[in-house]
Amino acid sequence: MEITQVALVVLSGFLHSIWNFLTKKSVDKLVFLYIAKVFELVIFFPLFFYLLRSTYINPKAYVFVVLSGIANTVYWFSLSKAYTYSDLSLVYPIARSAPAFIAIIAIALGIERLTLTGLMGIILVNSGVFMITFENGKFLDKLQEIVRFKDIGVSFAFLTLLSVIAYSFIDKQASILINPILYVYLFEFVSFVLLSFIVLKTKSAQLLETEFRKNSLSIIASAILIVVSYAIVVFVMRTASLSYIVSVREVGIIFGVLEGVLFLKEPFQRRRIIASIIIALGIVIISIA
C-alpha cells in the first residue's frame, strides 16, 4: 500500500474508534446509534443532493447499496447489543477481527493475490486480535460459550464480525461504481429504514428523548464520524487490496483498548497492551508490503 493510503485508513480507524467509544458511553446503545443515523441523513443531505445531481451512478451500484444496507443493519443491531453486555476493549477487537477471514476468503476465491510480506503483516494483526479475543480462556472453551450463546456480549460481537466480513466484500465491489459519500449515504438510509422497524417497535419515544437529551453532542459527533470514517475506506478501496485495507484499519483496536482503559476505567491488562503492539507491528509490515 502507498503511504497516503495507509495514512487515510489509519485516520479512518481512529475516527471509527471514537464513535465506538461514544456509543459505549450511551444509555441505550441501539437508540444512540439510531438517532445518530437520523443526524447522518440530515447533516449530509445537502452534500448528498449536490453529488446526486453532479455525479454519475452506475445502476449496478444500487444492488450493492441494498445488500450493504442489510448487512449494516445486522452490524448496528449486533454491535449495540455487544456493547450493552461487554467491555469496549473486548467487543471492539472481536468485531474488528475481519482481516484474517477476509484474506482467507479472498485468496481462496482468487479475488486477491497477496505478497508474502503482506500476508505476514495480516497474520500479525490477527494474532494480536485473537490474543485479546481469547484472553480469558482457552480457544475451544470460549468458542463453545459463543456457540451456546452463554456469553451474550461476545456472541453479538461475533455476529458483528460476520456482518463486517459481508459488507466489506460488498463495498469493495461497489467502490468503483459510485462516489464514496453517495454510497455511504444511500446504504445508511437503507439501514435506517430497516432499523426503524426494530427501534420503533421495541423502544419508547421517551427513551429516544432521554438518550438525545443526555448525549446530544456525542450523537451528532458520531453521525459525522460514522459517515466520514467509512467514506474514506470506500475511497481507498478503489485502488488498494481489501485484505490490506481491513488489516490496517485494525489500528482502531489499539485506540479502542486505550480509550477503554483510560476513559471508561476498564481493566488494564498487560496482554491487551502486548496484543496492541503486535497489531501495530503488523500494520507497519503491511505498509511496507
Q: Is the pLDDT of residue 89 over 80?
A: no
Of 59-68, 76-85, 137-146, 153-162, the range with the highest mean pLDDT is: 59-68
pLDDT band at 155 (very low <50, low <70, confident <90, very high): confident
Q: pLDDT tens digits, residue range 26-78?
A: 888 889 999 999 999 999 999 999 999 999 899 999 999 999 999 999 988 88
Regarding predicted confidence, which is higher, 98 or 120?
A: 120
Domain count along the chain: 1
Residue 105: give the domain boundaries: 3-288
At CA 132, angle to CA 116 and CA 142, rounded to 5? Answer: 105
Residue 53's pLDDT is what? 92
Q: Is the pLDDT of residue 197 over 80?
A: yes
